[in-house]
Amino acid sequence: MKTSQDAGAETTLFSDLGLPDTVLRAVKAIGYESASPIQAATIPALLAGADVLGQAQTGTGKTAAFALPILAQLEPKRHVPQALVLVPTRELAIQVAEAFQKYAAGLAGFHVLPIYGGQSYVPQLNALRRGPQVIVGTPGRIIDHLERGTLVLDAIRTLVLDEADEMLAMGFADALEAILAQTPARKQVALFSATMAPPIRRIAQRHLREPREIVIRGRTATAANIRQSFWMVSGLHKLDALTRIVETAEFGAMLVFVRTKQSTVELAEKLQARGFAAAALNGDIPQSMREKTIEQLKGGKVDILVATDVAARGLDVERITHVVNYDVPYDTESYVHRIGRTGRAGRSGEAILFVAPRERNLLRLIERATRQAIEPLRLPTVDDVNSRRLARFKARIGEALAAHPSEFHRKAVQEIALETGADLLSIAAAIASLVEGHAPVQSGWQQAAEPSAAAAAPPEPPRPRAARRPAGDDGPPLPEVAEGGYAFEDDGRQVTYRLAVGHRDGVQPGSIVGAIANEARLHGTQINGIDIRADYSLVRLPANLPQAVLARLSRVRVRGRELDLQADGGPRLPPKRAAAGKRRAGKPRRD
């Protein structure tokens, strides 16, 4: 029997689906009232004991569709695994287990256990001894426990294959067959997949008995509550474009997708160097750190997560309002999965796609697959960014005024006015400069035209222009700025400088390079020999950097501390000659 339903079908209440009162009370406490189409079609079928073959896009509510019927038919007093849910990734295993725990608030004695790789076996073994009724796991680690004899599936009554297409794409076909072979012949099976490719059909034919086939057809392949736009990469580096978006957008949390693991780390460090709370998420990061990062994202300690497709699979964080495709995906399905991380559960979201001129064909393929036109994005201008920064600063001052400044600070300002003869406006501006540092945007950023115009217009030749000074900065005048760097003669000589940040501050080489390159507008090749010690670091920079630039670099903050740049030695040979000299002297290379 096959059921096909549009995503916009008529509303069905959870109270009409035949769920027991204990489960309904938990659903009501969470705030759910009406079921999504996949839930309305799947829950009655599973409660009736039928197998289910469900096809629906990500973010449609599949977890509740299988979790609620499982809980409705569970025997809480039997402390053996009664249901097994197989998922492709660790993150999804954790989220599904958390959902079960939330839905089972009214079931005394209920235990659910997520089992996944990258975590120590000890806590999993201890939890298995307590007898969880529901196991949620990745195929690889489930196989490990079956081979060790630490997991027995003889009492399994319901087996769920969630995101089956992803598990097959990740090479788990043999593992799935091995796990299914160790479950009872008489069991209920529910298989969910975004696509119904031939391998999925073959698994369904072998392991599902006369399944109810449920297909949820959306009006478009992507959620209508996600606003999609693209920026044609032209005349401005992608990092600068992303910075403008982050500075001006009203967002809760932002998920930025790149293609490679290395890119996640590099981009996260560059964003950190610009003062943003950013973190990387990729397959090489230890599981404990991955879990900590996701918790920080949920808790608001991290605002920007830079991730690869695989690492973000199954990620469901309510704070995510913006998804940025920093690197355009090569296939349309990846694009749909990426932007599905926002606009979930009826919330609105925004998806932004960076497209290079040579990638225009990929943009057209995405529009054809999603059956939606993706609108050009007007990139925020420098004035937009500065206006936003000013508004935030004024809001902070308003909050401080509302909290009534202390008598100590009032007295300090009064004494400064009497001692210096300065007016209160000048004193306030000086205090603002201490608080904000180098807040205003560097004028070296180009003004980006609208995408269509930017793609058609030839690039303008670089024109020298005076660098804009931060508010309240009364230091020495800055040199003229040419596109790509300050105007000075780099003759290859270098000086070693000592920086007042080190390992104890959690600083990384990329943080130092990003901060110096951004503030002094140097190329990465001009920043050499980074040597991070316990409480300070060494770095080689061009010997004839203008004093104004050196003074500015001293005030740059990395990990909350000023660099306090100090010369540590005299001029050195250019990097290649210096390295050759070291090798002739028999000393190891430092850089």
Give the model's pLDDT for residue 408: 82
Q: For 241, what's the count of Cα atoms within 13 Å in the CB-facing half-sphere?
A: 26
Find, among 268, 287, 285, the residue nearest to 277 by Cα.
Answer: 268
Task: Tell me if 78 is assigned to some domain.
Answer: yes
DSSP state of 503: G
Of 429, 454, 474, the position where a domain reaches its end is: 474
- Co-location of 335 and 391 in the same domain: no
Tell me the C-alpha distance between 479 and 517, whole Å.
16
Last residue of a domain, one of 329, 354, 380: 380
What pLDDT score does 437 carry?
A: 54
Q: What is the DSSP letter of 137?
A: E
Taking the C-alpha atoms of residue 39 and residue 62, their distance in angstroms, rounded to an integer, is 7
Please tell me whether residues 375 and 426 are part of one structural domain.
Answer: no
* Domain hosting residue 301, numbered range: 226-380
| 70 and 113 both lie in a single domain | yes
For residues 301 and 366, membership in a common domain is answered with: yes
Do 562 and 457 have their domain in common?
A: no
197 token code pair: 């490719």
251 within some domain: yes
Domain assignment present for 589:
no
Buried b / exposed e along 504-526 (16+ C-beta atoms within 10 A): ebebbebbbbbbbbbbbbbeeeb
Could you tell me if residue 22 is left (phi over 0), alpha (psi between -120 and 50 degrees) or otherwise beta? Answer: alpha
Q: Single out the residue of 199, 166, 144, 150 nearest to residue 87, CA to CA.
A: 166
Quick check: is 591 in a domain?
no
Domain membership of residue 28 (yes or no) is: yes
Say whether 49 sits in a helix, a strand or coil: coil
SS3 260: coil
Answer whether residue 73 is part of any domain: yes
CB 310, CB 89: distance < 8 Å: yes
What's the domain count of the chain?
4
Rounded Cα gap, residues 210 and 186, in angstroms: 13
Convert 133-160 to b/e letters by CB count within 10 Å (16 or more is b): bbbbbbbebbbbbbeeeebebeebbbbb
Residue 102 lies in a domain: yes
Integer angstrom CA distances of residue 32 from 27, 64, 292, 549: 6, 11, 28, 57
Can you give the length of the chain in residues? 591
DSSP 492: S
- Cβ pair 449, 235 in contact under 8 A: yes
Instruction: Quote the DSSP letter at residue 211.
Output: P
Instruction: Mark whether 172 and 237 lie in a shared domain.
Output: no
Compute the distance between CA of residue 518 and CA of residue 12 in angstroms, rounded to an integer: 54
Give this prediction's pTM. 0.48
Give the integer Cα–Cα distance in Å for 227 and 224: 8
- What sign does the CA torsion over 247, 252, 257, 260 have? positive
Question: Are 126 and 114 part of one and the same domain?
Answer: yes
pLDDT of residue 150: 94
- Does 590 map to a domain? no
Residue 136's SS3 state is strand
Which of 362, 380, 398 is the last residue before a domain boundary? 380
> Are 433 and 498 within one domain?
no
Could you tell me the end-to-end alpha-carbon distance of the chain, in angstroms, rounded to an integer? 67
Q: Are residues 370 and 265 in the same domain?
A: yes
Statement to judge: residues 404 and 374 lie in one domain: no
pLDDT of residue 147: 93
Residues 13 and 90 in one domain: yes
Q: What is the CATH number of the domain that holds 124?
A: 3.40.50.300
In this structure, the answer to whether residues 445 and 501 fall within a common structural domain is: no
User: CATH no. for residue 499?
Assistant: 3.30.70.330
Q: What share of the chain is helix, strand, coil (3-state, %, to 5)?
A: 40, 20, 40
SS3 537: strand
Q: What gap in Å lies between CA 319 and CA 492, rounded to an integer?
A: 48
What is the full per-residue pLDDT of the chain (591 aa) written as tens digits? 566 555 444 578 888 999 999 999 988 887 777 888 889 999 999 999 999 999 876 666 788 999 999 999 999 889 999 999 999 888 789 889 999 999 998 888 899 999 998 788 899 999 999 999 999 999 999 999 999 999 999 999 999 999 898 888 888 999 999 999 999 999 999 999 888 888 888 999 999 999 999 988 654 455 667 889 999 886 678 898 999 999 888 888 999 999 888 899 999 999 998 888 999 998 888 888 888 999 999 999 999 999 988 788 778 888 899 999 999 887 677 788 888 888 766 678 899 999 988 788 788 878 877 778 899 988 888 787 777 777 777 777 777 777 777 788 778 888 888 888 888 888 777 777 666 654 444 433 333 333 333 333 333 333 333 333 333 333 434 443 333 345 566 677 888 999 999 888 888 877 788 788 777 777 666 788 888 888 889 988 888 888 888 888 888 888 778 899 988 754 433 444 334 444 444 443 333
Q: What is the pLDDT, as a whole number, of residue 235? A: 60
